[in-house]
Structure formats: C-alpha cells, structure tokens
Structure 1
Amino acid sequence: MDTNTQPDAIEPIRLADLTQSISVRLRSTEPTLETPAVRYYDAEAVVTSGFVNGTVHLGFDSEDLSDWGRLLDAIEEAEQEADLGEPFTADWPRSGRTAYIRFIAEDPYVVEVHDGTSTQIVVSVPLDMGEEWIAESRERLAAARAALGVGAEDHPGACP
C-alpha cells in the first residue's frame, strides 16, 4: 500500500487492492483558476506498486467531479448487465487537457495512467478491488466535494 499518503490528503479517487493503488490527490483545495461556473484544481495521479511508483500532474475542474460520479454510475450499470462484449472503458478527466486515468472494467479491473500531453508514457495497473469499491468511491467523491465546496447541487445530474 501507499505509505507516502499524508493523513489529511484529499484523494477524490483512490482505486486499490492489497498491494497496489492508483489515486488522484489534490495539491491544494484552493482552485488555481475560477470562473463563475467552473473551478480548476491542481492534482496529481499517484501510482504505487511493488513494480513502479510514480506521480504525474493531473488537473481537473469542478465539472470533472460530476463526470466521475456519472462514470461510477455507468460502471455499476455495466457490471449489472454483465455484457459479454468489450469491457466498459472510460477516461477521467476527459483526455487531451492533462494526464488522465483510463478505467477498464475487466476481471481484474485495469486502471491506466496516461501522461498523454507530455511524455506519452502509460502505466497500466491491474487491481483486484473488493465488491464495495463503488460505494467507497462515492463516499470519497462526496467528501472531496464537501472539502472543495463543490456540492451536487452545483451540478445538475451529479451524484451526491
């Protein structure tokens, strides 16, 4: 597990099993840019495993928090349908602006960290997450929204 995480660090996303993890950790709770409708935050994607450990800058905005909530809903729906076709795949935040994570709903789950805007390096980590990971992710998202002052009421359709 990641022993470098500060106890008070805000991680809107943390996907982990017993030996490795990928998380999105805020660098500050203060937005680096703010418009009337959107706040932009500085964060980093952190990969921790016995094979590779690394950090890359990953910025996201307040709308991306809503996107993560919608993505969790879509993953849960895809799991319930258990389609035998291609695995559910989604990027967060939207690729192209900054580094991003790609979530692939396979068995085990695979999470990739893409540094697409800089080095073009991709790190792929299989994660054997427990059954409660979606509920835990929603709790983590709600806690991050509260800490940032970005509530579900700010974004229609967002998950609380």
Structure 2
Amino acid sequence: MDTNTRPETIELIRLADPCQSVSVRLRSAEPTLESLGVRYYDAEAVVTSDFVNGTVHLGLDSEDLSDWGQLLDAVEEAGRDAEQEAGPEEPFTADWPRSGRTAYLRVVCGDPYVVEVRDGTGTGVVVSVPLDMGEGWTAESRERLAAARAALGRIRTG
C-alpha cells in the first residue's frame, strides 16, 4: 500500500503487471448511505504507471460487488471459449460498475488485457492501461472480493 492510502481503505480490485496497475479502493468499510437494503460506498479508481498516475472518484454499491463476481465469471468463460475457437474474434469487453452513473472500469480481455478507467460523467478523460496479468489473476481477484465482502459484512448500520 502506498503512503497516501488511509488505514481503513480496502483494496477491492488490483489488476497489475510488473510495470503498472489499476486498482479500486473502498475508502472506508462504512457505507456513505443505505437505502432499501442497498449500501453505497465511497471508492476510488487508481492508475499507477511510469507514464501516468491518477485517481478518480468511483461510487459503488453493495450490488456492484456481485456484479464484479459475475464479470470475473464471464471473463473466465470467454477465455475458455476463446481457447476452443480458432480465428480472430472481438475480445470480451465489460464495464464495471455499470457505466453512466460514475467513473468506471472497462475491461477488454485481449492479449494483453486492457483496463480503461473512464470518467465519463466527470471530466470525460479515459486512461487506457495495457496489463500482462498472466494466469491466476481471476483467482486473486476473487480472493480480494471475498476479503472485501467479509470486511464490509462486519460493519452493521442502522
């Protein structure tokens, strides 16, 4: 963790290779709002590379955690399908959290993977980060997701 990371920060996502990374950090395990059983959290997307470093606010809710797990499932399925099929095909692409309400990530499963951090509702800036993540990154992502869910589950509101 870098020196700018607060102790209560939870790193939900870390997509990285030896040279650069994209991460999503929950700034606190305490929700900023709870409405109709959905908890809303203050988060940030962080890009770190030799070329550019930046952070953008990324709002997410408790349902987005399930969506991240489903995105990981879809990435793994797309990878299995790509191994079985020959020929050029459009790479699997998905947005998380749902685009349009806050900054978000666009994951493009190619060789290399590309993660775009898109601030469509704010500045309009898009930062595209190619990552050579290798094997096992989805398993590591699932471990982070489980740890984040456990940390968030310890917090009770109301």
Length-normalised TM-score, structure 1: 0.88
Partner of 2:106: 102
Over aligned residue pairs, what C-alpha RMSD do you find?
Answer: 1.6
Decide whether the 8 Å contact of 2:22 with 2:115 is kept in 1.
yes
Decide whether the 8 Å contact of 2:6 with 2:27 is kept in 1.
no
Q: How many residues align?
A: 149
In the TM superposition, residue 36 of structure 1 has moved relative to its aligned partner by 3.4
Secondary structure of 2:57 counterpart: strand
Partner of 2:144: 140
Partner of 1:92: 96
Q: Which runs of 5+ in 1 are unaligned?
A: 151-160
Partner of 1:149: 153
| Among candidates 120, 123, 138, match of residue 127 of structure 2 | 123
Matched, 1:66 2:66: yes
How do residues 12-23 of structure 1 correspond to structure 2 at under 5 angstroms? Answer: 12-23=12-23
Matched, 1:47 2:51: no
The letter for the 2-side match of 1:46 is V
Secondary structure of 1:78 counterpart: helix
Aligned equivalents of 1:4, 1:91: Cα separation in 2: 29
Q: Percent identity?
A: 74
Decide whether the 8 Å contact of 2:114 with 2:128 is kept in 1.
yes
In the TM superposition, residue 4 of structure 1 has moved relative to its aligned partner by 4.3
**Rg larger in structure:** 2
Secondary structure of 1:11 counterpart: strand
The letter for the 2-side match of 1:45 is A
